[in-house]
Each structure stands twice: as C-alpha cells, then as structure tokens.
Amino acid sequence: MFAGFDIGGTNIKSVITDESGKILKYMDTATPATAKGIDKTLADIILDLASSISASKEQILAIGIGAAGSIDRNKGIVITSPNVPSWSNYPICRNVEKLTGIKVFLENDATAACAGVWWHTIKDKYSNWIMLTLGTGIGGGAVIDGRLFTGQSGSSMEVGHVSLNPDGPLCPCGNRGCFELYSSATALVKYVKLKMKSFPSSTLKPLDVKEITAKKIYEEALCGDTLALEGMNYVSTYLGIGIANLINIFNPEAVIIGGGLSQASKLLFPKMKEIVKERAMKGLKENVKFIAVKEQSMIAALGAAKIARDRYNIP
C-alpha cells in the first residue's frame, strides 16, 4: 500500500491506496501552523490511515508528499512555499521518514495533481498532455511521451508565472504580468471588485466584500448577472491566451483543467476554446481535447501516492 499527502495552507488531504491506485481511505485534516507540527501530523495520519482499514503501518511501503512552491525532489527539501512560510530549505522527507520509518518522496503539488489525474482519469488514453490547476494561483503539470515531466529538481511547469504582459502588474514572484494574475480564481475576484462601481445593478454589489468569491461569481454568472459574466469572460480570454502558448510549445493531445475554478468550465471553456482557435498554430490546435477534472478534493493526494509507488518501484 501507498500513502499520499496534499499539503495546503489550510488543510492536509491524505489517501491510502493499493498498488492499482484504488483509494482505500481518504482523510482531510487541518494544517498545523508550524513545520514541526506538520511533520507530527503526517506521522499521526499514517497511523490513522492504516488503522482505518485494519492494516499496520508496516504495510505502507512508501509515502508521497505534494507541496506547493519550489522544491528539490531529489533531496526531499521544500525550498520555499506560499502555503507554509516556515518551510525554508526544509528537509520534510528526512523528518517524516524519522517519525514513521517509511520511505518518503516529495513532489510539487501541481505535478502531484497531474499524476493523480493520470492514475484516476486519463490512464492510457493519451501519451502527451498538459494540466493546469486554477485556484489561488495557476499550477501546471505535463506528461510527455507517457512520462511525468518534473524538470531538473521537481519545480517544472510553473505556468502561472509565464508572463502574458511585460508591463502588467507586479507578481509576488518578482515577475510582471504573470498568467495567474489574469486567469486564477484570485484574478477573477479582483477583477470583479475593481469593476463593481461600473455595474450598480449587479447582484454582487449588495454583498460584503468577503462574500464575493469565485464560486459566488460563477453562480451569479449562471443567473445572467452582467458583471459576473464579464468577469468570467475576462478570465477565460486570458486562459485561452495562456493555453494557446502552451499548445504551441507542447503539441499536446489534451489539456486538463483542474483546481477549484475548473468547476466553472461550463462558462470558461467556450471563450477559452475560441481564443485557442484564434491564437494557437495551425497543425497544433486541431485535435486537442479539453477536459475538466472531477473529484477535485483528493486528486493531488492520489497523485502523491502514485509518485510514491512509481519511485519506490524504480530499481
């Protein structure tokens, strides 16, 4: 059996699977405030996962961890993470191995999500495909010739920080005009709030600022609210521009869209596809499939378990 963790700033999502990827147990636990607290919680969850299926800890062969930010997968170190500020060149794999006695493997969370979709949804349908996760920011992953692409150290496919506008707003990463400043859930909310004064009759206007979320904007857009629809159009336009660039680079068979904002695919996809058709190169864009991920909550944890299985089994 294999365990997988998706460590977010608010919650740790975890699974235990069999060799084939069947999820035997899923858990969702609050993320502790400190790095050491996270280490201990992961060790405790391992015991809980095993006992929940009447198994022993010793039956878990390996653990996979998906973490946001810059990592060194080979050394098992989180260099820096937006989710956990106390992770700074932090040897999470070594620490969790000491606490559990189980081999631990580290991967970027978006790459883990990509692996989870591969195991759960794509299987053998495509050999070359890319994935974008649309949430607070934009993460990315890729499978090239049937192999998960991770780059030199595991921090590849930071597609959210590809610049779409060199004179655009400053991103926390230090770049300007980053993709995620235009097409993430955060970007959608920011755009709608900035445009609020121009839409005095919007159903969003009476809401408290904290109540204006990407989910609420999508719901109001479905009901025909003009401001919400403009926000969705703005985000999907830039999403199409970013994806057209990626199609020109990777020539994929499919583009998988995950993350919380992918639940709005009914409104995102039509404009996105229109922009891709306009901007991607002829010969690269014609047969690309666009797929929205289902069962979002456990997909990155499942991918972390797959990565643990695959790396554990490498001779």
- Can you list the positions of beta strands (E) in 145-190? 147-149
Compute the distance between CA of residue 221 and CA of residue 261 in angstroms, rounded to an integer: 13
Q: Which two tokens stand for residue 291?
A: 């797929």
- 172: which residues sit within 8 A by CB, 6+ positions away? 82
Query: What radius of gyration do the chain's Cα atoms show?
Result: 20
- Inter-residue contact 230 to 218 (CB < 8 Å): no
- Inter-residue contact 239 to 245 (CB < 8 Å): no
pTM here is: 0.86
Residue found by looking up tokens 């060799």 in the block: 19
Q: Which of 182, 150, 175 is nearest to 161 (CA)?
A: 175
Question: Quick check: do 2-115+297-312 and 124-294 share a fold?
Answer: yes
CATH among 3.40.30.10, 1.10.10.10, 3.40.630.30, 3.30.420.40 for 124-294: 3.30.420.40
| Boundaries of every domain in the chain | 2-115+297-312, 124-294
Write down the pLDDT at residue 32.
93
- Inter-residue contact 87 to 81 (CB < 8 Å): yes
Compute the distance between CA of residue 229 and CA of residue 227 in angstroms, rounded to an integer: 5
Q: Which of 249, 70, 267 is nearest to 257 (CA)?
A: 267
Q: Which of 278, 197, 183 is nearest to 232 (CA)?
A: 183
Residues 2-115+297-312: name the CATH superfamily.
Answer: ATPase, nucleotide binding domain (3.30.420.40)
Q: Which of 269, 261, 229, 301 is nearest to 138 (CA)?
A: 261
The tens place of each residue's pLDDT in the chain, 315 residues long, gives: 999 999 988 889 999 999 988 999 999 999 998 999 999 999 999 999 999 999 999 999 999 999 988 899 999 999 988 778 889 999 999 999 999 999 999 999 889 999 999 988 888 899 999 999 998 889 899 999 999 998 888 888 989 999 999 999 999 888 999 999 999 999 999 999 999 999 999 999 999 888 999 999 999 999 999 999 999 999 999 999 999 999 999 999 999 999 889 989 999 999 999 999 999 999 999 999 999 998 778 899 999 999 999 999 775
Q: Which two tokens stand for residue 125?
A: 């349908």
Q: Which helix (H) or strand (E) holds 26?
A: strand 23-30
- Inter-residue contact 156 to 149 (CB < 8 Å): yes
Write down the pLDDT at residue 315.
56
